[in-house]
Amino acid sequence: MLDARVAELLNVQVNKEFYSAYLYLDISNYYVDQGLDGFANWYKIQAQEERDHAMLFMQYLQNNGCKVTLDAIDKPDKVFDSFGAPLHVGYEHEQYVTSLIHNIYDAANAVKDFRTMQFLDWFVKEQGEEETNAEGLIKKYELFGSDPRALYMLDSELGARVYSAPSLVL
């Protein structure tokens, strides 16, 4: 049986991951409206990944006999005034999610819940990749975004991204 605090934090994370998916769908919609379908594709795939992360947390809780409570998902409230603005929002959000994962890890460590720590190891690594990707996207945009041809090529590159489900074994 999971420690009550660890289970609570894991359950909160389920909802945070679903919010992340919602936020990235909102960003994807912004880029569709701007005619940047590649950027939209990149964030739509991000949303799929976040949804899968939520499902993994749910499954872990259920595998440990814990009830999952789904809360209402807040509506994203960001207003974007430039093509680059959503990129910064995405990067800041990934940093926030990393802090949430670290908090759960700390709570599991405090009660010597090694199984949950092992489960979270994948997410710790994943968050490192997410932050690196988000920061890299900002750098590329800052280098090429002001040139229409280069922006077109970057949009095409992002449009080629395909979804692959996470390979975490529970």
Return d(Cα 51, Cα 141) in angstroms, integer. Answer: 26
For 3, phi then psi, to 5°, come to -55, 140
Q: Classify the C-alpha dihedral 35-36-37-42 as positive or negative.
A: negative
pTM of the model: 0.94
The 10s digit of each residue's pLDDT in 89-139 is: 999 999 999 999 999 999 999 999 999 999 999 999 999 999 999 999 999
CA angle 154, 131, 48 (to 5 degrees): 75
Q: From 58, 65, 48, select the one nearest 13 (Cα to Cα).
A: 58
